[in-house]
Amino acid sequence: MAIRVPKFLTDLYKIARPDPGKLLGWGNNADVVNIQTGVAFFTGACPSDVQVGDFVYVAGAGRSVSKVDVFDFAKLPAIGCVTLKAAPTACVVQTAGLVSGLFSGLHIGATYYLGADGRPYLGPPTPTSGASLFLQAVGVALDDSTLILSPSLTVVRIRN
């Protein structure tokens, strides 16, 4: 018995399936949500010092992103993690879903927060004496190398 797939689903598949001949799929303004895995990402412009694994915030028009800074509220909230650098100033930012292989040594079931280096940090970071920083949860470890990416948009200031 053949199963008939509705046309709107086959059209959606054609839209959401990247072109294997292109690194970024559809160009610099691609938005993709994989319905089965919940993975969401977009392509954007970023400074050359942003690396794969860095968390980024929206830095300006044209899908411009930059690395977060937990000491500067203007450089928050983190909206996702860079999972691919196609060129020195072009990146793919994953905003939800499973991020596998970018991080290692994760503690299963633990909540991860933004660290001072712009990467996941186990437990809330502690500011140095007399200083303050901003706290944002970014995900939960599924296993030792997979983070369930779910950045909270709530940012809390911590003082020491």
How confident is the model over 34-74, as pLDDT tens digits?
655 667 888 999 999 999 999 999 998 888 999 999 999 99
- Measured at the CA of 135, the angle between CA 130 and CA 138, to 5 degrees, comes to 155
In 23-118, at which residue ranges do the beta strands (DSSP E only) sit?
31-33, 40-45, 55-60, 64-67, 80-87, 90-100, 111-114
23 in helix, strand or coil? coil
Among 15, 5, 6, 37, CA closest to 146: 37
DSSP letter at 57 equals: E
Q: Indicate if the pLDDT at residue 18 is higher than 90.
A: no
pTM over 0.85: no
